[in-house]
Amino acid sequence: MEDEQVYDRMRRKVLWSIVNGLYLVGSRYEDDCNVMTCSFVTQVATSPKLVGIGVETESKSAELIEKSKAYTLMFLRRDQREIVRKFVKPALCDLGKHEINGYPYEEASVAKAPILKDVLAYVECSVYKELRFDSHIFFIGEVVNVGSNATPAPDGTPAADSRVLEVLRMEDTNMHYGG
């Protein structure tokens, strides 16, 4: 019994150590929309360009994505960790004002899913395949559009490492997910 608990703790620690970014996933079906915090995110193929997300089976997001077959993936800046906590339960969407939990958004070309205005970058995906598990559905989405709000430094010099964006990571917070 004790051995089992030790093993469980060790397994969780190893699985928590998988390096993850922290993203927001936007979804919409008809008059219902949502944004959720998501860390199970990875590129799956380059041709076609596929990006996968693991979404809890019972979540509102899973329901909306299954119906609309589309989602948006938003990349946050490293100083935006407070946003992550605002999207851990179904969000309040004001379609008229284009606000979700009070954050202004724009509509994606896919399913009119929300893209918060103040994000570093975003990817719009159309669902290509779904893998269903007990806890999560792994949606594999084809990238149909990408946008970036990343700006050069005020003095005009490019960012320190211009090959990639400085995105929010799990290690920037004291949170964990999965395991």
Ligand X SMILES: Cc1cc2nc3c(=O)[nH]c(=O)nc-3n(C[C@H](O)[C@H](O)[C@H](O)COP(=O)(O)O)c2cc1C
Give residues in contact with ligand X (CB under 6 A).
22, 34, 36-40, 54-56, 59-61, 87-90, 175, 177
Q: What's the closest the beta carbon of residue 49 comes to ligand X, in angstroms?
A: 20
The CB-side HSE value for 2 (13 A sphere, CA atoms) comes to 0
Q: What's the closest the beta carbon of residue 163 comes to ligand X, in angstroms?
A: 25
Cβ-based nearer residue to ligand X, 135 or 162: 135
Cβ-based nearer residue to ligand X, 38 or 123: 38
Q: What's the closest the beta carbon of residue 144 comes to ligand X, in angstroms?
A: 21
Cβ-based nearer residue to ligand X, 4 or 58: 58
What are 35's strand-pairing partners?
A: 26
Q: What's the closest the beta carbon of residue 40 comes to ligand X, in angstroms?
A: 3
**Exposed/middle/buried for residue 168 (C-beta within 10 Å: 0-12, 13-18, 19+):** buried
Cβ-based nearer residue to ligand X, 53 or 151: 53
CA distance 48 to 127: 12
Specify whether the CB–CB gap between 16 and 178 falls below 8 A. yes
